[in-house]
A and B are shown apart, each in its own frame.
Chain A
Amino acid sequence: MPSFLIPVVVKGEETVECQECHKRPATLHFTQVINGKKTEISVCNVCAKEKGYVTYPEEEAYSLHNLLSGLFNFDTSKIDNPTLQKVKDLQCPQCKMTFAQFKQVGKFGCATCYETFSDKLDPILRRVHAGNTKHYGKIPKRAGNDIQMKRQLNHYKSQLQQLIENEAFEEAAKVRDQIKELEANIRDKEAGDNA
């Protein structure tokens, strides 16, 4: 459920009681947005923390390090499981960093580590990046030309799907031609790279 909280500062001196405990005065005011619907929330510090409206900075500020060490420091040696054992022994062919070392320092040794440890990476990335595992940002200009074309192709394809659903066939035909052209470009380029 896409939901987020927007902090609101209440002007003036009016005191509102906390809507959770109805005892203490509310000190935090939010606009909560759930699926586009807005609700005003006024709670006290204690309830805000208990009900999970906020995580407090003293807990959050250094959490990254704790979080990482927490993630990496599970003890696999005691578990008699061949898959886990294999993961533990994984070693990067380029920089020789092992998965055990990676867990310990929380840092990669080289670009190839990402490939070497790829099976174990997504859960870690999800926790660090609020559930995300895929990059949607900039692509290198020179090295990323192919990727750029593939992204554009995917964009056209979803556009085409949309247009067909909306029965906008004339425009759909145009987009289809653009797809064909782009696909031909990609094929030519691949042929060129392999030559």
Chain B
Amino acid sequence: MTLEHFMNDAISPWMREEGPSSDIVMSSRIRLARNIASIPYPIIAEEEKLAEVRKLIEKEYANKSFNSYHNFEFIPIRELTAIEKRVLVEKHLISPNLAKHTNESAVIISENEQVSIMVNEEDHLRIQLYFPGLQLRHALDKAFEIDDWLEEKVNYAFDENKGYLTTCPTNVGTGMRASVMMHLPALALTGQINRMMPAINQLGLVVRGIYGEGSEALGNIFQISNQITLGKSEQDIVGDLESVVNQLIDHERNARDLIMRESPTALEDRIFRSYGVLAYSRIIESKEASNCISNVRLGIDLGIIKDTSRNILNELMVLIQPGFLQHYAKKTLTSRERDVLRASLIRERLQLEN
């Protein structure tokens, strides 16, 4: 297995399975931040110290398998081209931050791309697991198993009162960020999402766009995650998040019903126009493409568009990103060239369905 394996498909193998509430929840993620007690943290450590961390993880975990996760591939970030790094970021396998720290940083990814462990990011280790649909509790159980597996060889920085000692005070305690990626077109269309966001913030949760901090909610995809990591158990944090997500699911379903009832023709028009744009345009920017993809996916969920697979949203959202387009073209592209290639890849993908 080589890096190519992770680069060629826009859609990760785990995304092909359908999870609970997958008409609205695209994925559930658990991230655990961990550090090694005896080594200074990446923001301040000397290169040799960070090399120790990298070598330890490579020696103990490269090409290993654990439970249902096979053949962990060890990838030093410095061996990647700028485009390859970008593709891994677009597939959420590494963070933009890891792509920036290059010398001693690395990532280890399971064959099905469900588990990735970043080495020398802001913390020495960041364990990430993705599951399709809403399955936070299951994801948490699996994340704990991976965490215990790492702890067999790594002495974690931990304090009885303060918990896992992270680089940033915002992660201390559980070191956990649980997040859910949701497609909320009807709440966005009716403007309800903007009214709900303040209340969600009030509950210690954060709402962001698809590519994390500071990013726009492209294609009506919202990421909701916990902000507080201290003073509550992981199970309680996940429980609180899950109950808000369940409420959002109900509200989204109600809003979809409402639109279907009140203005079915306008909705159909909107969905088919978007389909037309995707199927026939020759130049398309990523923002327009994201919005059209969101509408088409809504059409699939509501049974208005038939014979097109639901995975289209997950897949096209990655496929249309600049890194992936340039990887596909095998060269750097100008923004106009990307818009042309984007339009042609989308057309091709839609034709595959018919």
Contacts and interface: CB of A to CB of B under 8 A. Distances in A.
Interface in B103-154: 122, 144, 147-148, 151-152
Interface of B: 35, 37-41, 43-45, 122, 144, 147-148, 151-152, 155-170, 172-174, 176, 192, 195-204, 206-208, 214, 227-234, 247, 251, 254, 258
A139 B152 CA distance: 14
Nearest to A134: B161
A87 interface: no
Given A109-B44, A135-B162, A138-B234, A124 B198 contact: no
Contacts of A137: 163, 173-174, 176, 232-234
A132 B200 CA distance: 19
A36 interface: no
Contact of A108 (B160, B165, B176, B214): B165
Given A109-B40, A134-B161, A147-B160, A129 B229 contact: yes
Contacts of B40: 94-95, 109-110
Contacts of A141: 148, 151
Given A54-B199, A57-B198, A137-B234, A129 B173 contact: yes
29 contacts: A7-B196, A9-B192, A53-B202, A55-B201, A55-B202, A57-B207, A60-B198, A61-B206, A62-B214, A107-B41, A107-B169, A108-B168, A109-B43, A109-B44, A110-B41, A110-B45, A114-B165, A124-B169, A125-B230, A128-B228, A128-B230, A131-B231, A132-B228, A132-B230, A134-B161, A135-B160, A137-B234, A138-B174, A138-B233
Interface residues of A, number: 53
A5 interface: yes
A16 interface: no
A134 B229 CA distance: 10
A74 interface: no
Nearest to B255: A9
A111 B199 contact: no
A143 interface: yes
A160 interface: no
Given A109-B40, A110-B39, A111-B157, A134 B230 contact: yes
The 9 closest A-B pairs by CB, nearest first: A132-B231, A135-B163, A111-B157, A7-B199, A54-B198, A129-B230, A137-B174, A109-B44, A95-B40
Interface in A44-71: 48, 53-57, 60-62, 64, 68
A141 B146 CA distance: 12
Interface in A102-136: 105-111, 114, 121, 124-125, 128-136
Contacts of B206: 61
A30 B169 contact: no
B50 to A, nearest CB: 12
B44 A135 contact: no
Contacts of B152: 142
Contacts of A61: 206, 208, 214
A122 B250 CA distance: 39
B141 to A, nearest CB: 12
A97 interface: yes
A137 B161 CA distance: 10
A139 B173 CA distance: 10
